[in-house]
């Protein structure tokens, strides 16, 4: 919400679009006091966002989900009628389903904001099986959302091309908006002094599920073999002791790494101190739709990226902008070749400024994210105006 929802909504509000936000909050009544809710609503209202929330129910899974879908659809219907809404924007299949149910009695247009191939990712992570009821139900909702939406937002060009090739949506109904970042957060952070400290390699994010911690550790060892002063820094919410144990099992000594959770405000400071940023994850079919936020953040901090192949549009981006290295396979020969290429890249005098420029062109919150979301709403407005003229 804080990095991939509210910043975009603020951009839309600045463009003159009235925004109403509905969220589902875990432990709504125990985690929030009435004063805190009122304060948050006032804070968002100052940004042009009217916030509404419902309690999120997790258990028992299927009945809880069905209840939340119906509650969300009813709340959306009431908001659409009382606030005279023109567009319902669903972030993911289930919110889009709520929009589909509610707009049966409204004239709202529908946006389906595809946040990835979530059902396939659950299978890849071992949470669901391909033939499970949950998987099949989720895929049905996803296909229905694609069919009913007037406009679709995807994170990658590869996902757009796949939708078009499979005739699930036409190209003019799809907007590609990668996970963007507020570059000002990184511009304000102090930059590492040239030649100071150890050669830091950094990873920020989850270390379970689709993310390949062991492989990142093995790549780091290839870097350290060529740069004895190399140091691996892991920023994650996972228990540090568990992560440290996994790193030691991969062959690292305690002096080689540091693991901890840091506040969002501290992340840019740590990234600006790094020389290389890592992002290794399982390269399954679902990754055609993936846009790792960490890669945008690394580049915004002026840090070249080392990523494994076939993750979203990253391969093409790193090659086009000359700001990173793509690891083709996970073996010693590939680790060694990628480490040498990465160290050569880091040694280029203009690489940090090139990374920042690439982030500006591809991931800037205002000029890329905000502008493209506005394009979606503009097309819907033009379509509505055309229908009114025709009538």
| pLDDT tens per residue across span 140-165 | 999 999 999 999 999 999 999 999 99
Q: How far is CA 289 from CA 99, 178, 200, 358, 370, in A?
A: 23, 10, 30, 20, 20
Instruction: Tell me whether residue 272 is in a domain.
Output: yes
The model scores a pTM over 0.75: yes
Are residue 237 and residue 162 in the same domain, yes or no? no
What's the CATH number where 45 sits? 3.40.50.2000
281 and 347 in a common domain:
yes
Are residues 113 and 252 both part of a single domain? Answer: no
CA–CA separation, 107 and 81 (whole Å): 10
Lowest mean pLDDT among 120-134, 192-206, 329-343: 192-206
> pLDDT (tens digit, 9 = 90+) per residue, 20-50?
999 999 999 999 999 999 999 999 999 999 9
Of 190 and 342, the one with more pLDDT:
342
Phi, psi of 333 (to 5 degrees): -65, -45
Question: Could you tell me if 130 and 210 lie in one domain?
Answer: no
**Structural domain contains residue 161:** yes
* Whole-number Å distance between alpha carbons of 4 and 82: 27
Tell me the C-alpha distance between 153 and 115, whole Å. Answer: 8
Mean pLDDT for all residues in the chain: 95
Q: What are the tokens at 109?
A: 């247009």
CA 278 vs CA 44, 54, 183, 271: distances in Å? 34, 37, 19, 11
Percent with pLDDT over 90 in the chain: 90
Give residue-wise pLDDT tens across range 278-325. 999 999 999 999 999 999 999 999 999 999 999 999 999 999 999 999
Give per-residue pLDDT as tens, 176-227. 999 999 999 998 777 654 445 899 999 999 999 899 999 999 999 999 999 9
Q: How far apart are CA 88 and CA 350, in angstroms?
A: 44
Residue 391 within any structural domain of the chain = no
Count up the domains in the chain and report the number: 2
Q: Which of 104-108, 131-135, 370-374 has the lowest mean pLDDT?
A: 104-108
DSSP class of residue 364 equals B
143/48 same-domain check: yes
Instruction: Look at the alpha carbons of 297, 299, 303, 309 in this order and tell me if their dihedral is positive or negative.
Output: positive
Same-domain status, 258 and 355: yes
222 shares a domain with 369: no
């Amino acid at each position: 919400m804080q990095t991939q929802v509210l910043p975009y909504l603020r951009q839309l509000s600045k463009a003159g679009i009235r925004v109403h936000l509905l969220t589902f909050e875990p432990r709504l009544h125990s985690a929030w006091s009435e004063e805190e809710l009122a304060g948050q609503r006032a804070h968002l209202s100052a940004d042009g966002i009217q916030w509404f929330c419902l309690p999120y129910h997790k258990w028992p899974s299927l009945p809880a989900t069905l209840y939340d879908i119906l509650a969300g659809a009813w709340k959306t219907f009431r908001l659409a009628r009382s606030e005279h809404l023109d567009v319902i924007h669903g972030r993911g299949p289930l919110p889009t389903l709520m929009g589909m149910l509610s707009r049966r009695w409204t004239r709202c247009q529908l946006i389906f904001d595809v946040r990835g191939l979530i059902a396939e990712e659950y299978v890849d992570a071992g949470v669901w099986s391909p033939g499970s009821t949950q998987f099949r139900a989720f895929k049905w909702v996803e296909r229905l959302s694609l069919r009913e939406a007037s406009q679709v937002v995807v994170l990658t060009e590869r996902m757009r091309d796949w939708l078009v090739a499979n005739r699930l949506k036409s190209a003019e109904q799809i907007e590609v908006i990668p996970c963007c970042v507020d570059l000002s957060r990184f511009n304000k952070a102090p930059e590492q002094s040239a030649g100071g400290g150890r050669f830091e390699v950094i990873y920020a994010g989850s270390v379970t599920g689709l993310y390949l911690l062991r492989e990142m550790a093995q790549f780091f060892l290839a870097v350290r073999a060529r740069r004895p002063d190399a140091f691996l820094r892991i920023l994650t919410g996972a228990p540090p002791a568990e992560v440290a144990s996994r790193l030691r099992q991969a062959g690292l000594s305690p002096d080689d790494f540091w693991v901890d959770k840091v506040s969002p405000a501290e992340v840019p400071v740590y990234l600006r101190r790094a020389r290389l940023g890592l992002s290794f994850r399982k390269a399954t079919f679902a990754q055609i739709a993936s846009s790792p936020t960490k890669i945008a953040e690394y580049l915004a901090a002026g840090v070249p990226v080392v990523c494994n192949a076939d993750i979203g549009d990253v391969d093409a981006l790193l090659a086009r902008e000359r700001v990173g290295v793509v690891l083709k396979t996970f073996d010693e020969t590939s680790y060694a070749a990628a480490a040498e290429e990465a160290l050569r890249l880091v040694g280029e005098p203009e690489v940090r400024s090139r990374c920042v420029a690439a982030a500006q062109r591809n991931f800037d919150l205002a000029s890329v994210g905000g502008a493209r979301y506005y394009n979606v709403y503009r097309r819907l407005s033009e379509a509505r105006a055309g229908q009114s003229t025709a009538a």
